[in-house]
Structure 1
Amino acid sequence: MSKLIQMPSKTWLKYKRWDVIKRYQSAASTVNLGNRTLTIETGKLAKFADGAAVIKQGETSVLVTAVTKTLSQPSSFLPLTVDYRLKAAAAGRIPMNYFRRERGPSESEILTSRVIDRSIRPLFPDESSREIQVCCNVLAVDGENDPAILSINAASAAIAVSSVQYQWNGPVGAVRVGYVDDKFVINPLRHELEQSKINLVVTSSKQGIVMLEGGANAVDYDLFKEAIKVGYEESFNIIESIEDLRKSASENKYIPKRLPPRFQDTEIQDAVYRLCNSKLTAVFTDYNHDKFSRDSAVKLIVSGVMNELKDLYLSMTEDDLNQYIQRCIKQIFRESIFTTGKRCDGRSLTQLRNISCSVDVLKPLHGSSLFQRGQTQVLCTMAYDSLDMSLKFGPVAQLISGAKEKNFMLHYEFPAYATNEIGRPGTATARREIGYTRR
């Protein structure tokens, strides 16, 4: 570190972030899952990243890096981006396109990115506003061990050894639970998963279960609950392994202390609550409102409260004051529900919205339907075609999934006009639309 401080280049000092310059201590941790071993390493690859981890199980290995911006920016949501990539080279193949180069992320890669995102995002505190990017790069794949599950654990380890660890309530551990030959199997191999009655991904932290995804093939309810319990218990072994890794990697390594929590001034919170409480409660308990009229009423109240707060707290920016207001809206909204026992549209806590269903609404098509619940509509159309039009998988996808083609495809579209917004029709499919596409 002393040599870096003596460097004369002011330009270099201007752009280099000192909270990232640290001596990585190489460390490794091993955990037994079932009858196989999972190894997590850090400090060997991607040393300039805030945090990096390589995870291996069998012959499958994944490198995950976590990079954060030093300065936080005002944001109404956590600016976290997760990008998972499985390149053809990881399977010893060349991409099957004209240019023989990797193109954009595939449907499967985007879905996996969303699973990783859902596993780590809930553990960041509300005041987190530092931009974070998590990149998952599959280095090698053997076709039996699932790189997606490994990526969740590697992402957890990368964040745990990074400078953002003190802003995160992790680590998390993730396992896939299968049920083969009347036995639970942790992280089943591909051929085992094909015979499994349960396919369940369980991500847990020390506080409890964070994320569940999967399904089952006509199994008993108690058996499925037992699968969740088994996955929850097994994930603790991974959590302990990551914590051991963090302790070993933190030796002789500079990591900045946790930043003081933002938006925790009780005086401002109380002032915002006094200004908003009665007005917002009246809106949330007026069951004649629909979505748009309620949103308009809330925006009008927020605008008036913002003007009053600007006069009271001259040193606060509008973005910071808005954070207090949004937190207050959430608090009052929940209080009104628990106090009255009704939702903002007048329904009880156990009452569902009415749903209307119509079929064969477009006669010339093979199939069509229109579903509406509340103010949300879904128009679905179906088309039959020959088996030659089935979706053909490339060699890498075949290696991971074991399937060569798929003759059922569900394409999801979310046009801008669905939420009364302006967008560019005909552009590339958004990640959100792909995220709702069935595997």
Structure 2
Amino acid sequence: MMGLRPLGVTKLLNIAQNAIRRRQFISSSTLTTHENTITFSDGKTLKVGTGRLARMADGCAVASFGDTSVMVTAVGKIKSTPQGFMPLTVDYRQKAAAAGRIPTNFLRRELGPTEREILTSRLIDRSLRPLFPDEYTSETQIICNLLAVDGVHDPDILSINAASAALSVSDIPWNGPVGAVRVGMIDNELKVNPSRREMSQSILNLVVVATSQNLVVMLDATADCILQQDFLKAIKVGVKECQSIIQGITRLQKEAGKRKRNETAAAAVIEGQGQEQEATNKENSLKIEKLKPGQIPPDLADAAKTFGELRLKDIFMDHTFDKLGRDNAVSALRSDVVDKLNKNFPNYDPSLISESFSKLTKNVFRQLILDEKTRCDGRSLVQLRNISCDVDLCKPLHGSSLFQRGQTQVFCTVAFDSIDSALKSDPVSVITGGLKEKNFFLHYEFPPYATNETGRGGGQYGRREMGHGALAERALRPVIPKDYPFTIRLTSEVLESNGSSSMASICGGSLALMDAGVPISAPAAGVAIGLVTKFEGGDTKHLEDYVLLTDILGIEDYMGDMDFKLAGTRKGITALQADLKIPGLPLKVVMEAVLQGTDAKNEILEIMKQTIAAPRTIKKDNMPLVEQIEVPTHKRAKFIGSGGRNVKKLTSETGVQVTEVDDIHLNLFAPNQTALEEAKEMINEFLTEQREPQLDFGAIYTAKIVEIRDIGVMVTLYPNMQPALLHNSQLDQRKILHPSAVGLEVGQEINVKYFGRDPVSGGMRLSRKVLQVPQMDSTVVRDLNASR
């Protein structure tokens, strides 16, 4: 009997998987379309289908809600990558064509990703990543293609559900599906998946992503100081509504889903072989199982534990270490242990040896927290790091603050500008998101020196920085007055980082706003809550052995299972973001994290209050000003000047910006009081430089013809006057078609009667025709040219 050819196990696995994928693709070309309709509690329906579009992708699903449709494809490479993490890429792109628009840029096509596209891509990534198996490290890409956008239903939540369906029906290993809903609160009532117009009236924007058995996978929220009990209720409602989506996607998976690669690979090795080869094939199957990515051989794991466990415990229990000292000590121990393991296990791959030490480090760190309730810096589980605050550091700035929490240090500055400097959104973002412009925005900067590293600086703005800045901005926006007359730019530069830099930006930003005198409704603060569990695969529904950590360090974030960020005022919550590394979290743990985070947030607010308790009421000398002035319609041209000369001169010499309010009112934005006074003097000169006499209604004046036109003549009543039109209909009692019909010429003087100004255009109303009726002898003709 012939046995199996002596192929390498990895090569055999790849051949088997490729063969399965070929068979699946051949069969997929004849698949019919499968679609499931999901009905929510309020009667709205979500449709999810597969089998019609993009069939060469590993998985494809189309989700429709109202007239908004999104197609999401999932493709994963067969070969695993050597990295210790899963290289997942999510690309969400807004298509102008999907909204029936043409891009407004020069090329009239979609260019680089916008901020909204990047933030939505991160939202989808955070919803999917926790459910990939640890052993799956193949490069995977999710692409969200907007097919149609109706301007009523946002496509971001739809994209999460479509991505969940695409992964579920694919052969990519994934422990889904998940469901996603948006929860709003309108008139104190919770509403699931509200329309864009309804969201404009909502005080809550909560995105809930959950898996089966009511397990929370991801939370992302912005709120207008919503009460804690209302927020917790919204989470429960969102998780409940997600279950119907999960059930619908599960039905779709059963109808049209492919077998997962980790299930089919071993079956393909055994498939087609005789009974005689059963033992050999089982042995090969076991070898394949042993070669799962990330799995450490027992003998190597035991040796790493022998060489490094006790020394790692000594490092993590030495509370005198700071971040750099602890990192250097672990790095030195890593070099020593890896050298010993390389000598004892020369046949093992060096990357596997390095990974064995990394897993040992993580296990020791987590075990100390779970068993000893000991954190590496000596704090209790709910204790905050030492906090110090300072404001008004730089006098030329409108507002500034320095917030220090442990080894996390953030410097925040506030700059004001005119309302014309508000950040404008692109048209497609307006359709899908509803926000046209922002008069408050926060820019978050994380230079490499903040973690003692080198790298590109100079304003490089990556996806991480954009996400952290957006979170801090959303946390502070509810406390900014909506009718504030300035555009506010808040910058947050992280000078040192050892965890929770985005939450420190909220604290520092709140202090800087108060230092600048912005009348915020209440100070805001943020804190990060971590989680360490004994989860080792399987079901997390009955998670019992866990520890919640208040104000986590960077290492506690990296080694832990959750990064739960909560921000708000003393009254309520303004923002929340929860990212997990385990496949779902029971609602009980989520509620505990909210409560623990609220207590920590209130404690931070008390500390901040000792530095500055409320916005400054006494304005700084460099505080900008806005003043409204009145310029009548007929004086607008004189104020603006030829080609805008006067306005340009005003801005260049004083720094004052002019904004139109209505037909007669203008806003002057001045960087300080001195500039405003200079600008007002210049404006008076513009308007009074050529002082015009007061004209009396019904009076008769001598006018000089300065121009002949087809429709009439242009005349002036006094020197330096802006010429006014005397229309053909007002030149003579007879109907004439041209001024030459009555012998009028340039330079000729004629008498006209003044009837005030037109209420719409502001132009003079003059007539020569009415004077051709015999006048009384007492009629006085006023010659303003002679008086000059």
Give me the TM-score of the superposition, normalised by structure 1: 0.91
- Cα distance between partner residues in 2 of 1:290 and 1:360: 29
CA contact (8 A) 1:175 1:234 kept: yes
- Cα distance between partner residues in 1 of 2:94 and 2:212: 30
- 160 and 59 in structure 1: CA distance in 2 versus 1, 3 angstrom threshold: same
Question: Within the alignment, does 1:28 sit opposite 2:35 as a pair?
Answer: yes
CA contact (8 A) 2:445 2:459 kept: no
Structure 2 counterpart SS, 1:410 = strand
- Cα distance between partner residues in 2 of 1:425 and 1:339: 42
Equivalent position of 1:383 in the other structure = 415
Equivalent position of 2:201 in the other structure = 195
- Cα distance between partner residues in 2 of 1:372 and 1:93: 47
Equivalent position of 1:411 in the other structure = 443
Equivalent position of 2:50 in the other structure = 42
Following superposition, the deviation at residue 358 of structure 1 comes to: 1.1
- Cα distance between partner residues in 1 of 2:189 and 2:329: 56
Per-residue CA distance 1:222-272 (angstroms, 9 max, x = gap): 22212111111111111111111111113xx56533464430533332332
Equivalent position of 1:9 in the other structure = none
- Structure 2 residue aligned with 1:95, among 99, 103, 113? 103
Following superposition, the deviation at residue 281 of structure 1 comes to: 0.3
Equivalent position of 1:366 in the other structure = 398
CA contact (8 A) 2:48 2:61 kept: yes
Per-residue CA distance 1:279-334 (angstroms, 9 max, x = gap): 10011011111111111111111112212222333332111222222111111001
Equivalent position of 2:255 in the other structure = 248
- Cα distance between partner residues in 1 of 2:331 and 2:316: 13
- Cα distance between partner residues in 1 of 2:425 and 2:52: 34
Aligned pairs (5 A) from 1:79-118: 79-118=87-126
CA contact (8 A) 1:73 1:129 kept: yes
- Of the two, which has the highest radius of gyration? 2
- Cα distance between partner residues in 2 of 1:17 and 1:86: 34
Equivalent position of 1:171 in the other structure = 177
Q: Which amino acid aligns with 2:452?
A: N
Equivalent position of 2:383 in the other structure = 351
- Structure 2 residue aligned with 1:136, among 132, 137, 144? 144
Equivalent position of 1:3 in the other structure = none
- Cα distance between partner residues in 2 of 1:19 and 1:355: 58
- Cα distance between partner residues in 1 of 2:228 and 2:371: 33
- Cα distance between partner residues in 2 of 1:138 and 1:231: 24
Q: Which amino acid aligns with 1:235?
A: C
- 71 and 19 in structure 1: CA distance in 2 versus 1, 3 angstrom threshold: farther
Q: Which amino acid aligns with 1:256?
A: R
Per-residue CA distance 1:60-100 (angstroms, 9 max, x = gap): 01111111111001112221111111121111111111111
- Cα distance between partner residues in 1 of 2:239 and 2:212: 10
- Cα distance between partner residues in 1 of 2:467 and 2:223: 21
Following superposition, the deviation at residue 428 of structure 1 comes to: 4.5
- 86 and 20 in structure 1: CA distance in 2 versus 1, 3 angstrom threshold: farther
Aligned pairs (5 A) from 1:221-260: 221-250=228-257, 255-258=260-263, 260=289
Per-residue CA distance 1:410-437 (angstroms, 9 max, x = gap): 1111112222222233365212121123
Equivalent position of 2:467 in the other structure = 435
Structure 2 counterpart SS, 1:269 = helix
CA contact (8 A) 2:154 2:433 kept: no
Following superposition, the deviation at residue 54 of structure 1 comes to: 0.8
CA contact (8 A) 2:205 2:221 kept: yes
Q: Which amino acid aligns with 1:363?
A: K
- Structure 2 residue aligned with 1:309, among 327, 338, 341? 341
Give ranges in structure 2 of 5+ residues lacking alignment.
Answer: 1-13, 266-288, 475-788
Following superposition, the deviation at residue 17 of structure 1 comes to: 5.0
Following superposition, the deviation at residue 143 of structure 1 comes to: 0.9
Following superposition, the deviation at residue 20 of structure 1 comes to: 3.9
- Cα distance between partner residues in 1 of 2:19 and 2:465: 39
